[in-house]
Structure 1
Amino acid sequence: MSETAIKTIRRATWVGSIVNIALAGVKISVGKLTGSQALVADGIHSLSDLVTDTAILIGSRYWTAPADKEHPYGHGRFETLTNIFIGVLLALVGIGIGWDALSAIGHEATNSPGMLAFIAAVASIVAKEVLYRWTVVQAKRINSRSLHANAWHHRSDALSSLPVAVAVVANYVAPGLHYLDQIAALLVTAMILKAAFDILWPAIQELTDAEADSDIDVKIQQYAEEVPQIKEVHAIRNRRTGSTILLDFHMLVDPDMSVDKAHAISENFKRYILAQLDEVVDVIIHIEPYTCAERVVNPCCEDKKCDDTNQH
């Protein structure tokens, strides 16, 4: 990972931490002042975002490190573990909000928080939504899955402030409708759990070495067709490690070609692939002779007519 990407991750995380501390202080203070338990709980949720910020700041020190003897494939899986941590924490936050909403059903509100609580909740929604969008832009720019996951944690904080705002408005518009706050909170829970799943599932797929991108197979075949010396490519495999992809495949060349020339072709082809596919950071190419025993895409047979048909 480039130095620019590392600085972007840490800058975005520090900005998020500062905003979280400020919002937590405002929401807890206003919640205490207005008697809004929901706003106090929302402030504590903002503090929980600091946990994921800390996880990224610590984790990025490891997953951005170059490959070494102990980790010859690099340290990308540390980013995967960070994503799992964020996804689990996000799921727990969603479950907590849902549990509080279900527990509150049937209990009438004991206080009217007032407009100050509403202003604090709306300010939180706006600030965290802006932070979410900005963080997503930074994550896409450097292709950081962990930064994108943390962006969703920012949005969960914005969503968790929504029931507080709804409760205040409901108190003014329809004091008799005591369940609007709980219904809004349950909707928020569903959205947060969906975001947690979207973060966790790719990470789980990565840990089980699932294919990272099926489109890569097609692209490699297309690139190979542009090189006359490459007769065939097959056994294309790719897997993700953090925000990067590792790729390997078999490349068939003329059996009479020298080892030096075949190696030069494979190295040039590797450099071309790395230049075309941003996520791919390493390519292993297994060179084979273009013979009947090795051909897969265009198999040949003993029958001359059959062989001629395959070649056409």
Structure 2
Amino acid sequence: MSISVVAGLMAVRLGYPQIDALVGGVIAVVIAYAAFKIMKEASSVLLDRVALDPEEVKAVCLSINAAGVQECHRVRTRGCESGYWIDLHLVVDPDMTTRESHRIASQVEKQLKRTYGRNTDAVVHIEPGKADQPEE
């Protein structure tokens, strides 16, 4: 931009004052465009908009194919390209031990980081699912 300012000043010195106004207008448009891009990204973060498709996040969670996982729901995401925050509930077999449930939650968190980047912070809430119905 500094070069355009110098070019505008040189044009004025050479007797073309209209070019200075034109260069000033171009600089104003560039600044306005940059401001718009910054405001657009900041507004998504400030308004806490959904950052990722919840169905896509569910698919990533279920892609680990862990035994005992029944469902993934209540997926909430926020953030932007520089980092995502994901909060979800994972329904597991009610007979599963706490240790097994925690291991699966850790696997899901690692898979989400691999998929969406290392600046992803995921919180997985474990819920007991329904016990298998006995066959009659």
Band the TM-score falls in, shorter-chain normalisation: 0.7 to 0.9
Paired residue secondary structure (1:231): strand
CA distance in 2, matches of 1:204, 1:233: 29
- CA distance change for structure 1 residues 164 and 218 in 2, over 3 Å: closer, same or farther? same
Q: Deviations over 1:264-295 (max 9, x none)?
A: 2112221232233225442111112334xxxx
Residue 221 (1) aligns with residue 59 (2): yes
Residue 258 (1) aligns with residue 80 (2): no
CA distance in 2, matches of 1:178, 1:247: 55
Return the offset for 1:182: 0.6
- CA distance change for structure 1 residues 260 and 226 in 2, over 3 Å: closer, same or farther? closer
Return the offset for 1:226: 3.5
- Report which structure shows greater RCO (CA 8 Å, sep ≥6): 2
- CA distance change for structure 1 residues 199 and 225 in 2, over 3 Å: closer, same or farther? same
CA distance in 1, matches of 2:23, 2:73: 52
- CA distance change for structure 1 residues 162 and 216 in 2, over 3 Å: closer, same or farther? farther
State the TM-score, normalizing by the size of structure 2: 0.74
CA distance in 2, matches of 1:279, 1:201: 24
**Count, aligned residues:** 130
Uncovered stretches (5+) of structure 1, i.e. residues with no partner: 1-158, 292-312
Residue 198 (1) aligns with residue 37 (2): yes
Q: Deviations over 1:35-90 (max 9, x none)?
A: xxxxxxxxxxxxxxxxxxxxxxxxxxxxxxxxxxxxxxxxxxxxxxxxxxxxxxxx
Return the offset for 1:240: 2.3
Paired residue secondary structure (2:123): strand
- CA distance change for structure 1 residues 277 and 261 in 2, over 3 Å: closer, same or farther? same
Asked if the contact 1:233–1:251 (Cα under 8 Å) also holds between the matched residues in 2, the reply is: yes
CA distance in 2, matches of 1:282, 1:222: 15
CA distance in 1, matches of 2:74, 2:57: 14
- CA distance change for structure 1 residues 178 and 244 in 2, over 3 Å: closer, same or farther? same
Return the offset for 1:193: 1.2
Return the offset for 1:189: 0.4
Residue 277 (1) aligns with residue 120 (2): no
Q: CA RMSD in A?
A: 2.9
What residue identity is the alignment partner of 1:182? A
CA distance in 1, matches of 2:54, 2:4: 41
Asked if the contact 2:88–2:125 (Cα under 8 Å) also holds between the matched residues in 1, the reply is: yes
Uncovered stretches (5+) of structure 2, i.e. residues with no partner: 131-136
What residue identity is the alignment partner of 1:273? L
What residue identity is the alignment partner of 2:60? Q
- Counterpart residue number, 2:133: none
Residue 188 (1) aligns with residue 48 (2): no
What residue identity is the alignment partner of 1:168? M
Select the residue among 121, 125, 129 that pairs with 1:286: 125
Q: Which has the higher strand share?
A: 2
Q: Which has the higher helix share?
A: 1
CA distance in 1, matches of 2:86, 2:119: 7
What residue identity is the alignment partner of 1:254? D
What percent of counterpart residues are identical? 25
